[in-house]
Amino acid sequence: MTAFPSITGTRLIRALRKLGFEVVRVKGSHHFLQHQNGRCTVIPLHRGEAIGRGLLAQILRDCDITKKELKKNL
């Protein structure tokens, strides 16, 4: 398995915005992002905490993007 850097919610949102996702609403610390073609996901923003491996994998599946695409846009 390749080494993937730990990533915070803020950094992940910034990378997803480069890929065409927009924040459609915020409820507490959770940001709901949606793409024009209907793909959507939820990103938790907890100060000082990185997104866990399992959650990151689920977010990538929801967004239908690969780790390679995400890493390129970080």
| pLDDT tens for each residue of 29-59 | 999 999 999 999 999 999 889 999 899 999 9
The structure's pTM equals: 0.87
Q: What pLDDT was estimated at residue 4?
A: 74
Instruction: Evaluate whether 60 touches 67 at the Cβ level (below 8 Å).
Output: yes
Q: Name all domains of the chain by residue range, CATH numbers in brackets.
A: 22-73 (3.30.920.30)
| Confidence tier at 1 by pLDDT (50, 70, 90) | very low
CA distances from 72 to 13, 18, 24, 60, 65 (A): 14, 10, 24, 14, 11
Q: What pLDDT was estimated at residue 48?
A: 84
